[in-house]
Structures are given as structure tokens and as C-alpha cells.
Amino acid sequence: FVLINVSYLNVLDSPSLTMGRGITTIFGPSGSGKTAIRKLLNRMISPSTGQLFFNGTELRQTNPVQHRRKVVMLSQNPVMFEGSIGDNLNAPNIFQKRPLLDESLLCSALETVRLGKDPATPVNLLSGGEKQRLALARVILLQPEVYLLDEPSSSLDDASAEAVVETLCLKARKENRPVIMVTHSKAIARKYSDVIITIAGGKSIGQELCSGRDN
């Protein structure tokens, strides 16, 4: 992603920013403008002024639905559908009228996120942390070009949050897929990031390299 003099209403006013390969974290307190950046990257909103590019193409020229299939977001409160774990993992295929995934792929994804459950397990029996891991498995099965994490630690205990973030970051590094993580947790930002972009008052006030690249 490349942002050039992007602003959004009175919430965000950012000079040029570049988010490349590796793990990039957008860090800042509540109300700092992190949510606006996340929505801009996922094309849920468009800049009031300025330009936002993804792989060299200005986002206004892209199809929003197709873009979101490339840049897939794991939200802090993931949507769960009625039915089983398997139904939830297959939900994107069901909506897009594609063949259902083989159960072996579902079990492999669950193993990756350390969710030791049978795909037939009803989703309403899962805890909040287990639902977050299930949502992560669903995102992994989509094989996006970019993973976008929205406040992964906000609704989980520290151990669950770290497990979710660590699992995805390790997999993304192995597959050379970029991760952009929006968080207010400085501990998670410093532990897993290659680059931290600090946001305050809707403006980028710093960009630093971190030791997370060695994890």
C-alpha cells in the first residue's frame, strides 16, 4: 500500500506512507485514526483527499468486493454463522457458490490455529477465544494476498491474543504474505512487527523498525 497525502473527513490527515512486505503494525490509542486507516485499506471508505494505491493501482479504480478478497480482514468481533465449525469455515465458498472444502483441509486449518475441535462441533459451544481462532482459520483458508488484523487483542485474554497473532504472523512469514495489524497494544506491536507506524490525532508521527522480524 502507498498513501499519498490521504485525509478522511476530520479524522485522518496523513502524509505519505508505505506499507510493504512483512509485518506492519499501525499503533495508537483509541480515537487516534487507526480505524479510519483500516477501513481505507479494506475499501470500506474512500479518502476525502489524496490517493491510496495497492500494488500500483489506485483503489478507486478497483472493485471493492474483489479487493476485499485480496485484502482479508480478521475483525476484533468476527461474524459467526449458525451451524457447525465446518459450516463457518465453508461460509465463503457457500456464499460464492463454490465447491465445499474437503474435511482434511478444514482439519488442517484448525490444527494451524491450535483449535482442537471436530468440524462437526456446533459453533455456539465455542468460547470467545475459540471463535476468534475459528475466524482466523477461515481467513487462512481464503489465502489472501494481505492479512489485515483489526485490534486482535481487544476481546481476548493476553494468552489467546498472542496465540492468534503469533500463529498468523508465523504462517504469513512462511508464505511471504504481508500482514497489516491495527492495535493499541504496544507489547504485541513490538513483539511481532517489522515496522511500527505510530498514529496520534489522525496523523502519522513516527515509523520505526522492530526486532519482530527475527521471530
Q: What is the pLDDT of residues 73-115, one digit of tens each?
A: 988 788 999 999 999 999 999 998 899 999 999 999 999 888 9
pLDDT given for residue 214 in this prediction? 46
Angle between helices 128-142 and 158-175 (to 10 degrees): 10
Q: pTM higher than 0.85 for the full model?
A: yes
pLDDT given for residue 155 in this prediction? 59
pLDDT given for residue 82 in this prediction? 93
The length of the chain in residues reads 215
pLDDT given for residue 45 in this prediction? 93
pLDDT given for residue 75 in this prediction? 84
Grid cell of 196 as nine digits: 511500527
pLDDT given for residue 176 in this prediction? 93
- Residue-wise burial string across 160-197, b where 16 or more C-beta atoms lie within 10 A, e elsewhere: bbbbbbebbbebbbeeebbbbbbbbbeebbebbbbbbb
Dist. CA 185–CA 10, nearest whole Å: 24
- Residue-wise burial string across 27-40, b where 16 or more C-beta atoms lie within 10 A, e elsewhere: bbeeebbbbbbbbb
CA-to-CA separations, 174 to 100, 154, 169, in angstroms, rounded: 26, 26, 9
Within the chain, which residues score under 50 in pLDDT? Answer: 214-215
